[in-house]
């Protein structure tokens, strides 16, 4: 497209119905703002003071088993309560309702030193199988209509414990971001009889401008509407409403896509790359939900180096999301690293 690499413009996100301002000319400006400390720490394989390591006692006094693979438990400090009292308050513009749910912690590995980028593909596959199992069991509960799988990696993203782990929050209603995606995907499906991401992938695979990596079942790309500097999305090539519909033989390909992306993130600035990642998929409300096409998004905050972070402040808070480097530039950088790592057979 003309002028998108040189001049300010805005891009539309069809999943949410929102716009992002892109200002490529600003990437040339000098930086004199805050710089974060680069994470170069070396962690032990087992930390006796870590609440999540195998065999250790957690903050609530419970002892972890001597787990050898993936370990899941109900969060000791859950944001959602299963037995929250039902109520509804509606007084003009003062509204409140009860919200029930279950929050779980999922330890990816007993090895305190390993992130997903350090784990082999088969061990990541075990994490995926656990995601599927938890999604199924939580989604079957009558008061659970949505299951959110996510990970916060790195202290800069608010992670309170360096042990490699993610979380699973399940709740009775749809959270805001999921509700927006539900509405826009449903509208698109009714009009086109295809999922929104199915048609989007066709365009991206034809253009080859934002593709970072692909295998037989998955595409890793920087979305056209990306907000974060090196934001990326993993999308299954075939429409699937949730990860339960992912064929078992393709879970290893999903694991490969996660491995490739997290490894190139770490290589980008030679640091343990922080991010928040999450899987958006269909609600568990017993409806058809054929309009859904699940996907996993990664939102990393680093901008120019391991010490320069992208802040969502000022205009982003009061106006709309904004980015400097274009998604195409970010994709080319990540693809170059992916090609080098994959050629070197690091998987």
Phi and psi, residue 197, nearest 5°: -75, -25
Cα end-to-end distance, the chain, whole Å: 35
Report yes or no: 263 and 117 within 8 Å, Cβ to Cβ: yes
Relative to beta strand 211-214, strand 302-305 is unpaired
Q: Which two tokens stand for residue 128?
A: 């995926």
Single out the catalytic residue among 163, 165, 184, 291: 165
Which is it for the CA torsion 195, 200, 205, 210, positive or negative? negative
Report yes or no: 346 and 338 within 8 Å, Cβ to Cβ: no
Q: Which residues contact 239 (CB under 8 A, 6 or more apart)?
A: 194, 195, 197, 198, 293
Partner residues linked to 308 by β-bridges: 305
Q: Is 9 a catalytic residue?
A: no
Q: Which two tokens stand for residue 246?
A: 């992912």
Q: From 278, 209, 289, 201, select the one nearest 242 (Cα to Cα).
A: 289
Q: From 128, 141, 99, 123, select the one nearest 242 (Cα to Cα).
A: 128
Q: Which residues are catalytic?
A: 165
């Amino acid at each position: 497209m003309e002028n998108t690499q040189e001049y300010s413009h805005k891009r539309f996100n069809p999943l949410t119905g929102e716009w992002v301002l892109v200002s490529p000319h600003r990437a040339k400006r000098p930086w004199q703002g805050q710089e974060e400390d680069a994470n170069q720490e070396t962690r032990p394989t087992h930390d006796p003071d870590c609440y999540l390591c195998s065999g250790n006692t957690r903050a609530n006094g419970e002892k972890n088993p001597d787990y050898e693979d993936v370990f899941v438990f109900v969060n000791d400090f859950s944001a959602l309560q299963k037995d929250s009292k039902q109520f509804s308050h509606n007084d003009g513009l003062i509204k409140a309702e009860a919200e029930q749910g279950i929050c779980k912690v999922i330890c990816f590995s007993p090895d305190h030193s390993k992130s997903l980028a350090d784990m082999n593909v088969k061990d990541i596959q075990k994490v995926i199988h656990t995601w599927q199992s938890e999604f199924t069991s939580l989604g079957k509960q009558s008061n659970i209509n949505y299951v959110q799988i996510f990970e916060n990696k790195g202290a800069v993203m608010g992670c309170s414990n360096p042990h490699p782990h993610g979380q699973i929050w399940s709740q009775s209603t749809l959270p805001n971001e999921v509700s927006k995606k539900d509405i826009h995907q449903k509208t698109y499906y009714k009009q086109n009889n295809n999922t929104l991401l199915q048609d989007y992938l066709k365009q991206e695979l034809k253009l080859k401008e934002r593709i970072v990596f692909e295998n037989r079942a998955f595409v890793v790309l920087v979305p056209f509407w990306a907000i974060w500097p090196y934001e990326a999305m993993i999308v299954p090539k075939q429409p699937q409403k949730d990860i339960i519909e992912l064929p078992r033989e393709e879970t290893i390909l999903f694991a490969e896509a996660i491995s490739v992306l997290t490894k190139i993130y770490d290589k980008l600035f030679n640091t343990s790359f922080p991010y928040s990642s999450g899987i958006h998929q269909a609600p568990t409300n017993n409806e058809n939900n054929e309009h859904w096409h699940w996907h996993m998004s990664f939102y990393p905050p680093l901008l120019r180096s391991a010490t320069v972070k992208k802040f969502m402040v000022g205009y982003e808070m009061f106006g709309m999301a904004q980015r400097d480097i274009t998604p195409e530039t970010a994709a080319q950088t990540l693809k170059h690293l992916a090609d080098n790592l994959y050629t070197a057979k690091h998987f």
